[in-house]
């Protein structure tokens, strides 16, 4: 049954519908799901009677047709349709929410066959439930069930789309961070400008596909300033005259408040005149220091000099360069400019890496003011535990870095959990608790899409597993729980116990340590837990209470985080 699937409904959705059908069968009625291609993709029948497959399909077809054109008095879509033939059939149209909130896509219908004798002349006749006259209580109850089912179906598809969107955006952002990190790790004093800039071009074109790219710098040749191509690849032809024109037009765009020179004939005529083979073009500036001077052009309105340019022509795979490309090109160009002038880009990029990761985790902590800073504290405590473990058994620095990142990202899956549930002050219902228990799986599914993050996944997925097998999501036990999961579990529990939450006050450190002691061998790994308990907890607590300034100092958290991210690139 579940193998008969179409592109409209996935296995997860169909399994949820099957659960509903199994429950509804207990009331002596039959349940079916049809897709938009007039196929029965799910049929759950009780023992009382058999339903006519052709009748299912005809009712589904009519419900979809009328849903597309019939609305009730308030202008809303008719929710439940009632059909009469040799039996009473109720149908609701299943819709999935689209990325654009104003659009909904019909993916099929859910139908209930009541099996009651209400013949209507041998023809299937449909009525909006609200206009079919007095409604028997049992029909009204089943109709309400179908309405709730349709609402739940649409909400779950929307949640899946949001998770997919976050995963895609995170993957794209990570690729951009990888690019910037590769630039930063090659910023050596002994590195020639040409080598570094060529690497920048090559890395950029791995993400943004173009026909040709070039970097031009202002250099003095034979006592005369000239624009020189210092790096590039692909098909691009820029002579001295063309370089001067590019510089002039780029300066003009910057003075107009633009971030880059962007011109194309994709949607309108070119703003400027270009050689015939150019379909679209982007140029971004390399800004020099305030005190530096350009010999080839005047300074911009902001008193900046353009000491170089990155130029690319003919975007491949898209009609034109877009705002995302502008942002990425400007990031690379800015990095190259700093490298050329003074080599300070490496420090800036270290802050960018960890700042981006912490921005992601902070977006989770921000859902609940009581968990503010939780992810960063769990990351630090996880690192603390890993360093204590490294003193007694082999563990390299790279492994410690990955455990730190697993702690930092352990709650990323809460992106997919409703804020109302996370902020609820009272106890959670069983359904709400089950939703919260899914966050390790959601987090792992997001990170698993990024190849470089896969070593982080075990710690994220298993930070709620227990040594006695009573944890979640997979009920692992003993050595089945990966080392990173056992460490992050202990760090997460310690911070949770010593932090104030909506449903309780914070425990004292002493009481929290007592609880950890009691949990050794059941909830927590005994060796790891003992190392933690025997460590200098007073020092750890002082560091956490002082926002890590004692050990990191101003800005040092960014440096450590960037070093940790660097382990994922190698």
Q: What 3-state class would DSSP assign to 29?
A: coil
| Cα–Cα distance, 464 to 492 (Å, whole number) | 9
Would you say how long the chain is, in residues? 570
What's the pLDDT score for residue 510?
94
* The pLDDT of residue 532: 96
1.10.3210.10, 3.40.50.920, 3.30.70.560, 3.90.1150.10: which CATH number matches 350-569? 1.10.3210.10
Q: CA 255, CA 315: separation in Å to the nearest integer?
A: 25
Distance of CA 560 to the CA centre of its chain: 24
Largest CA distance in the chain: 101
The whole-number pLDDT of residue 312 equals 93
In angstroms, the CA 541 to CA 543 distance is 5
Residue 353 confidence (pLDDT): 58
Identical fold between 188-342 and 350-569: no
Q: What SS3 state is found at 331?
A: helix
Q: Residue 345 has what pLDDT?
A: 45
Q: Using alpha carbons, select from 523, 476, 488, 525 the residue that is nearest to residue 402.
A: 488
Residue 459 exposed, middle or buried by CB count within 10 Å (0-12, 13-18, 19+): buried
Q: What is the pLDDT of residue 342?
A: 52
Facing residues of 313 across strands? 212, 281
pLDDT the model gives residue 384? 95
What does the pLDDT look like over 219-254, one tens digit per residue? Answer: 877 778 888 888 998 888 888 889 889 998 998 998
- C-alpha closest to that of 481 among 535, 527, 439: 527
The label of the residue with tokens 């190849």 reads 451
pLDDT of residue 199: 87
pLDDT attached to residue 230: 86
* Structure confidence at residue 87 (pLDDT): 63
Query: Which tokens belong to 37?
Result: 């291609």
Q: Give the residues across from 212 on adjacent strands.
A: 234, 313
Domain boundaries, the chain: 11-153, 188-342, 350-569
Q: How far apart are CA 160 and CA 157, in angstroms?
A: 5
Q: What is the pLDDT at residue 78?
A: 52
pLDDT value of position 341: 74
- Strand residues in 40-136 grouped as ranges (E): 40-44, 80-84, 88-97, 104-113, 125-128
Low-confidence ranges of the chain (pLDDT < 70): 1-8, 69-78, 84-87, 97-104, 116-135, 184, 186-192, 289-303, 342-358, 365, 367-371, 502-504, 548-570
CATH number of 11-153: 3.30.450
Residue 147's nearest CA partner among 107, 103, 91 is 91
Where do runs of H (alpha helix) occur along 26-136? Answer: 53-67
What is the CATH architecture assignment of 188-342? 2-Layer Sandwich (3.30)
- Report the C-alpha gap between 148 and 171 in whole angstroms: 35
Residue 2 contacts residue 15 (beta carbons within 8 Å)? yes
Contact 503, 390 (CB under 8 A): no
Angle between helices 137-185 and 439-448 (to 10 degrees): 40
Both tokens of residue 65? 């047709």
**Scanning the structure block, which residue is given the tokens 């340019």?**
309
Element (H, E) at 280: strand 280-287
């Amino acid at each position: 049954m579940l193998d008969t699937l179409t592109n409209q409904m996935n296995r997860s959705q169909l399994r949820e519908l099957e659960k509903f059908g199994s429950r509804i069968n207990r009331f002596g009625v039959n349940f079916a799901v049809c897709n938009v291609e007039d196929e029965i993709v799910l049929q759950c029948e009780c023992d009382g009677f058999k339903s006519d497959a052709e009748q299912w399909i005809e009712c589904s077809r009519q419900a979809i047709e009328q849903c597309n054109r019939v609305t009730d008095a308030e202008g809303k879509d008719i929710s439940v349709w009632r059909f009469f033939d040799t039996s009473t059939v109720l149908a609701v149209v299943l819709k999935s929410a689209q990325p654009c909130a104003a659009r909904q896509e019909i993916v099929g219908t859910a139908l209930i066959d009541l099996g009651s004798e209400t013949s209507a002349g041998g023809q299937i006749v449909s009525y909006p439930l609200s206009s079919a006259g007095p409604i028997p209580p049992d029909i009204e109850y089943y109709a309400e069930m179908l309405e709730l089912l349709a609402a739940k179906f649409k909400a779950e598809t929307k949640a899946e789309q949001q998770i997919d969107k976050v995963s895609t955006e995170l993957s794209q952002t990570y690729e951009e961070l990888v690019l910037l990190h590769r630039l930063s790790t090659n910023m050596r004093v002994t590195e020639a400008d040409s080598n570094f800039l060529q690497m920048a071009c090559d890395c950029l074109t791995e993400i943004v596909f173009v026909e040709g790219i070039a970097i031009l710098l202002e250099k003095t040749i034979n006592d005369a300033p000239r624009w020189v191509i210092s790096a590039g690849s692909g098909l691009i032809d820029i002579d001295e005259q063309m370089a001067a024109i590019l510089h002039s037009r780029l300066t003009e765009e910057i003075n107009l408040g633009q971030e880059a020179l962007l011109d194309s004939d994709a949607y309108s005529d070119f703003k400027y005149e270009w050689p015939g083979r150019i379909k679209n073009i982007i140029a971004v500036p390399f800004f020099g220091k305030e005190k530096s001077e350009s010999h080839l052009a005047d300074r911009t309105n902001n008193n900046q000099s353009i000491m170089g340019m990155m130029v690319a022509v003919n975007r491949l795979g898209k009609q034109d360069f877009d705002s995302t490309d502008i942002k990425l090109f400007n990031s690379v160009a800015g990095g190259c400019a700093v490298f050329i002038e003074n080599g300070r880009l490496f420090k800036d990029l270290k802050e960018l890496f960890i700042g981006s990761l912490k921005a992601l985790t902070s977006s989770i902590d921000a859902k609940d003011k009581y968990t503010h800073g939780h992810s960063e504290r769990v990351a630090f405590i996880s690192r603390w535990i890993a360093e204590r473990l490294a003193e007694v058994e082999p563990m390299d620095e790279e492994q410690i870095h990955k455990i730190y990142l697993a702690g930092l990202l352990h709650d990323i899956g809460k992106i997919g959990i409703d804020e109302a549930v996370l902020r609820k002050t009272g106890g959670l219902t069983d359904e709400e608790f089950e939703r919260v228990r899914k966050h390790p799986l959601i987090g792992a599914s997001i990170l698993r899409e990024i190849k470089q993050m896969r070593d982080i996944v075990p710690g994220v997925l298993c930070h709620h597993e227990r040594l006695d097998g009573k944890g979640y999501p997979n009920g692992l036990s003993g050595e089945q729980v990966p080392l990173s999961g056992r460490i992050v579990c202990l760090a997460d529990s310690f911070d949770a116990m010593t932090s104030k939450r909506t449903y309780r006050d914070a425990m004292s450190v002493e009481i929290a340590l007592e609880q950890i002691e009691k949990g050794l061998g059941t909830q927590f790994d005994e060796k790891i837990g003992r190392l933690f308990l025997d460590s200098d907890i007073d020092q750890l607590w002082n560091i956490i209470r002082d926002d890590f300034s004692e050990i990191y100092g101003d800005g040092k958290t960014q440096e450590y985080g960037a070093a940790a991210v660097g382990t994922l690139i190698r």
